[in-house]
Chains A and B, each alone.
Chain A
Amino acid sequence: MPLTPQEIEHIAKLARLDLTKDQKKRFRVQLEAILDYIEKLQDLDTEDIAPTTSILGGRRPLREDEPQSSLSKEDLFKNAPKHDDGQFKIPPVFES
């Protein structure tokens, strides 16, 4: 399954991965090989087969929707790279 350099760029952009030139080249070759290997799934006729969308079978545990205490704000912000006044600080979402 050949992949174009543009496709690699596109996937990396979707995945939010900044890749070096060398990585793009290497991943292109490796992903092509993996996709070739995966290709053998197309040999199977699965027209009448239902997809496994959950491995739980019929089990669907439910619970009462009751408010419960959660982690403290202090705990939540302890690991944040930047926070201020009870909020995560991030770069602007909209460019001016």
Chain B
Amino acid sequence: MSSFFELSLKGLQTGLRDSSFTSRELVTDALERIAKFEPHLHAFLYIESEPALRQADEADKRLASGDKQEFPLLGIPIAIKDVLTVEHMPATAGSKILEGFIPPYTATAVKRLQTAGAIVIGKTNTDEFAMGSSTENSAYGLTHNPWDKSRVPGGSSGGSAAAVAARLVPAALGTDTGGSVRQPASYCGVTGLKPTYGRVSRYGLIAFGSSLDCVGVFGRSAEDVAIIFEIMAGPDPSDATSSDTAVRTTKFEKQDLNGIRIGVPKEYFIEGMQAEVQEKIRAAISQLESLGAKIQDVSLAHTEYALPVYYILAPAEASANLARFDGMRYGPRVNANSLFEVFSKTRGEKFGSEVKRRIMLGTYALSAGYYDAYYGQAQKVRTLIKQDFETAFKEVDLIACPSTPRTAFEIGAHAGDPISMYLEDVFTLPASLAGVPGISFPAGFDELGLPIGMQLLAPEFREDLLLQTTHIYQQATEWHKQTPPTFDAEKI
């Protein structure tokens, strides 16, 4: 069978359960597709073949014995962004400073998927320590966009987004600190969910910005994303920031958007954005209206301040979080005469440019004499950004806007100009700072055939509303079903 990649996660679940195919066939097919397309994509940093096939055989035994009710993901291959730990698999965070590191434990989010029967087939490429918007900052080489190899897949979870877009795996985990799931989902034409801050455990996630980091999911549809998300979500005693608020199960029966109020913020339609992005997102909003939603204008007045707030808070938190990489307990050590030199030479040699730049920026923002002006002021403006959302969500159930100002850019387009790169995230940063959930899904293509992503934002813990609304849109449209030309059936 060579058409597994055409099936949704839900379709794979059904096929395995009614014995239309086996997990071994499915995993073999995924490994073959990876072998064939990886040289063109470089979505993976680590691929696990033999152990995955062994797990597939075990899954097949369990499926045959009828022991499957409690294992919704039994026999299904998935991929994990290489900032989450999986016991015995190398974890690099895209950095040379973790070269050779083998984590002794598995991240809770991954563990829950494995407990549900999922087979981790590999670790995906990422900007170093998830710092970037293009996956060009990986110390192990960049990832290509499946829609156009000369372009970036977005980032930092570019490997996971590309792997799902190229139909190498039905779903993959990413992380989103300032847009690192939603932006690559948009660039790669897949559905990507950033949950509410605290909704999914971060135990086993290599920390970047601890007041922002969220574990998210990529899939081909809202329905597929919901399956993974609902298994991962919920409190975890190993993560004190995980929330014990009950996880709402998404109801997919509803066929229309009657009674749903959707706000459109004028601050997300700005000068300098690609005209086609604006057009397609307006068209998608009209479609939501024709499906029954009530559309109204809202204002998120402090949107323009999200980028400066983020580029104080995230680097400040990163400078503290990355202090642990000092060549003492794990990772490589550069030998030198004094302890100070061992620290600074190890860090100086093994961290890449973007990571060093952000550590410098964060250290500066937190240093004596500058703390109040930078960090203190940023924390206060964060409050204003959060209040914007609270006010808006008194009037509307959801917010609809573009995920990114433009479609995927060319490799190297922002080299040497950090601010122009940071601007790719202007539409995803505010929700990250407010801690609210967001989803990006395909809503059209530009004239070059590159996917355009629509973003929906919801009040905290209302992922169900995001997934349900996206599903209703996806029932009425075909955008999410498009496969990048090189990766379709005929080329197999």
Seen from chain A, the residues whose Cβ lies within 8 Å of a Cβ on chain B are: 7-8, 10-20, 23, 27, 30-31, 33-35, 37-42, 44, 46, 49-56, 59, 61, 63, 71, 75-76, 78-82, 88, 90-93, 95
Given contacts A37-B308, A49-B383, contact A15 B363 (CB under 8 A): yes
- The reply to whether B363 and A11 form a contact with Cβ atoms under 8 Å apart is yes
Let me know if A27 and B326 touch, CB within 8 A. Answer: no
B104: nearest residue on chain A (CB-CB)?
A75
Do A40 and B197 touch across chains, with their CB atoms under 8 A apart? Answer: no
B102 A78 Cβ-Cβ under 8 A: yes
0/1 per residue, B306-320, Cβ < 8 Å to A? 011101100000010
Q: In the complex, how many angstroms separate the beta carbon of A66 from the nearest chain B beta carbon?
A: 11
Give every chain A residue within 8 A of B418 (Cβ-Cβ): 30, 33-34
Q: How far is the CB of B364 from chain A (nearest CB, A)?
A: 5
List, in ascending order, chain A residues with CB within 8 A of B338's CB.
Answer: 91, 95
Smallest CB gap from B196: residue in A: A55
Do B331 and A79 touch (CB < 8 A)?
yes
Knowing A15-B360, A79-B102, A95-B338, say if A52 contacts B383 (CB, 8 Å).
Answer: yes
Please report the C-alpha to C-alpha distance between residue A5 and residue B100 in the assembled complex, in whole angstroms.
35
Identify which of B342, B356, B386 contacts A52 (C-beta below 8 A). B386
What is the distance, in angstroms, from B110's C-beta to the closest C-beta of chain A?
Answer: 17
Contact of B356 among A27, A34, A42, A54 (CB under 8 A): A27
Identify the stretch in B70-78, B234-242, B465-473, B482-490 within 8 Å (CB) of chain A at 4 or more residues: B234-242
Interface residues of B in 358-380 (CB under 8 A from A): 359-361, 363-364, 367, 373-374, 376-380
Q: Using Cβ atoms and an 8 Å threshold, which residues of chain B touch A35?
A: 364
Assuming A52-B383, A78-B102, A79-B331, is B308 touching A38 (CB within 8 A)?
yes
User: Once the chains bind, are A18 and B349 in contact (CB under 8 Å)?
Assistant: yes
> Top 3 A-B pairs ranked by shortest CB distance?
A18-B348, A51-B379, A75-B104
CB distance from A30 to the nearest CB of B (A): 6
Q: Cβ of A41 and Cβ of B377 under 8 Å apart?
A: yes
A94–B332 CA distance with the chains assembled, in angstroms: 22
Confirm or deny: B381 has a beta carbon within 8 angstroms of a beta carbon on chain A. Answer: yes
Question: Is B344 positioned at the interface, with any CB of A under 8 Å from its CB?
Answer: yes
* B contact residues vs A (CB 8 Å cutoff): 100-102, 104-105, 197-198, 211-212, 235, 237, 240-245, 302, 304-305, 307-309, 311-312, 319, 323, 326-333, 336-345, 347-349, 351, 353, 356-357, 359-361, 363-364, 367, 373-374, 376-384, 386, 418-419, 435
Minimum CB distance partner of B435 in chain A: A55
Chain B minimum-CB-distance residue to A50: B383
Residue contact A31 to B361, C-beta cutoff 8 Å: yes
Main secondary structure of the interface of B (DSSP, over half): helix
Cα-based distance from A11 to B315 in the complex (angstroms): 13
On whether the beta carbons of B361 and A18 are closer than 8 Å, the reply is: no
Q: Which residue of chain A lies nearest to B375 when distances are taken between CB atoms in the complex?
A: A51
**A-B CB contact pairs (8 Å), 30 listed:** A16-B323, A16-B343, A17-B351, A19-B348, A23-B353, A30-B357, A31-B364, A34-B361, A37-B307, A37-B308, A38-B311, A46-B377, A50-B380, A50-B383, A51-B380, A52-B382, A52-B383, A52-B386, A55-B198, A55-B211, A56-B241, A59-B243, A61-B235, A61-B242, A71-B105, A78-B102, A79-B329, A81-B330, A88-B329, A95-B338
Known: A31-B357, A41-B312, A91-B336. 13 other contacts (CB 8 A): A16-B344, A16-B347, A18-B344, A23-B353, A41-B378, A51-B382, A55-B212, A59-B243, A71-B104, A76-B329, A79-B331, A81-B333, A90-B328
- Complex interface: chain A residues within 8 A of B244 (CB): 61
B356 and A81 within 8 A (CB): no
Taking a contact as CB atoms closer than 8 A, the residue among A15, A41, A79, A91 that contacts B381 in the complex is A41
Bound complex: CA of A13 vs CA of B348, how far in Å? 11
Determine if B384 and A55 form an interchain contact, defined as CB atoms under 8 angstroms apart: no
Are B104 and A78 in touch, CB under 8 angstroms? yes
Q: Give the residues in chain B near A38, CB-CB below 8 Å.
A: 308, 311-312, 374
Contacts of A17 in B (CB 8 A): 344, 347-348, 351, 356, 359-360
Give the residues in chain A near B336, CB-CB below 8 Å.
91
Distance in angstroms from B340 CB to nearest chain A CB is 7
A44's closest neighbor in chain B, by CB? B381
Assembled-state Cα–Cα distance A63/B380 (Å)? 30
Give Cα distance in the complex from A76 to B197, angstroms: 30
User: Measured between alpha carbons, how far is A38 from B367 in the docked complex, in Å?
Assistant: 16
- Tell me the complex Cα distance, A47–B144, Å: 46
How long is the Cα–Cα vector from A19 to B353 in the complex, in angstroms?
A: 10
Residues of A near B361 (CB, < 8 A) are 31, 34
Q: When the two chains form the complex, which single residue of B104, B235, B305 contacts A44, counting CB atoms closer than 8 Å? A: B305
**Separation in Å of the A73 CB from the closest CB of chain B?**
11
| Assembled-state Cα–Cα distance A25/B113 (Å) | 46
User: Which residues on A sit within 8 Å (CB–CB) of B242?
Assistant: 61
Contacting residues, chain A, for B327 (C-beta < 8 A): 81
Contacts of A37 in B (CB 8 A): 307-308, 311, 419
Task: Give the contacting residue for B363; candidates A14, A20, A75, A80; CB below 8 A.
Answer: A14
Query: Is B240's CB under 8 angstroms from A11's CB?
Result: no
B326:A16 contact, CB within 8 angstroms: yes
The docked-state distance in angstroms from the alpha carbon of A93 to that of B169 is 48
Contact B311 A80 (CB under 8 A): no
CA of A42 to CA of B304, assembled, Å: 13
